[in-house]
Amino acid sequence: MNILLSNDDGFQAPGLTALRQALCTQHHVITVAPDRDRSGASNSLTLDRPLRMRCESEQVYSVNGTPTDCVHLGLGLYDTAPDIVISGINSGPNLGDDVLYSGTVAAAMEGRQLGYPSLAISMNSHQPDHLQTAVRAILHLLPLTQYYPDRSHMILNINIPNLLWEQIQGFKVTRLGQRHKSEPAIRSRDPRGKEIFWIGGVGGPADAGEGTDFHAVNQGYISITPIHSDLTRYQAMASTQEWLQGTLHADT
């Protein structure tokens, strides 16, 4: 396979390195990733300055931009289009609402927006001990992706427990759960006494029952959630139309 590999933790991240080394034994891999940690960058593009891409080693490039930028620039390196875009392995989960902020998921989503099937891969730990479990899972799933129905629309958000491979209970197809609201911003002061703020931590699981990605990972399963970029809330279309019509009639 021709694979474009990216992430949001930066081109030197352990998860990216572990996955690249494993994939390169069987596939042609070009790695294009941010030059530093860009976690939480979501789908942002750099539009206020030019980007620079630097060759760090054979087929490994860093970009002074976001994960989404990296996918755009990476695709320009191919004479023959890649078969798939893979983002990860991320240090830390991307469960439930995390997908709205995740640069890992954004890189995969941008791959899909540009016409390629994509995988976003995350470990359920910010300091994972078992990256090889995630590597093994992806090596198992990758050949199966060619049989995925409607492959041109494929974005799979994959979360992997921080366990030994022998402790993994299996794979589960899940829906996104939901977190409680984030913690408030943290107010502090710098050494010069000026006020500064840190964004508060993410909320804990709220909707985490059976069938969700939270539940699967907590039970030792690898969670696979098919996602898409259409944010339309279809179940609210009719009620929104009724609301609009009622409001218009009230105004007249």
Mean pLDDT of 112-125: 96
More confident of the two residues 179 and 215: 215
Residue 204 pLDDT class (50, 70, 90 cuts): confident
Span 2-178+205-251 CATH architecture: 3-Layer(aba) Sandwich (3.40)
**pLDDT per residue as tens digits for the range 50-90:** 999 999 999 999 999 999 999 999 999 998 889 999 999 99
Strands (E), the chain: 2-6, 28-34, 53-57, 60-63, 84-90, 118-123, 155-160, 170-173, 178-179, 186-189, 195-198, 205-207, 221-226
pLDDT computed for residue 113 by the predictor: 93
pLDDT at 252: 58
Burial of 10 per CB tally in 10 Å (0-12, 13-18, 19+): middle
Please, how many CA atoms are within 13 Å of residue 124, restricted to the half-sphere of its CB? 23
β-strands 170-173, 28-34 pairing: unpaired
The answer to whether 67 and 38 are in contact (CB under 8 A) is: yes
pLDDT value of residue 223? 97
Centre a 10 Å sphere on the Cβ of residue 14 and count the other Cβ atoms it contains: 14
pLDDT at 202: 85
Q: What is the pTM of this model?
A: 0.91
Q: What are phi and psi of 165, to 5 degrees?
A: -55, -40
Average predicted confidence (pLDDT) for the chain: 94
**Residue 182 confidence class, pLDDT cut points 50, 70, 90:** confident
pLDDT exceeds cutoff 70 at 251: no
Task: Give dist(CA 221, CA 224) in Å, integer.
Answer: 9
The token duo for 27 is 């596939």
Average pLDDT over residues 85-104: 95
* Cα–Cα distance list, 68 to 3, 117, 130, 172 (Å): 16, 15, 27, 28
Domain range annotation of the chain:
2-178+205-251
Q: How far apart are CA 4 and CA 240, in angstroms?
A: 41
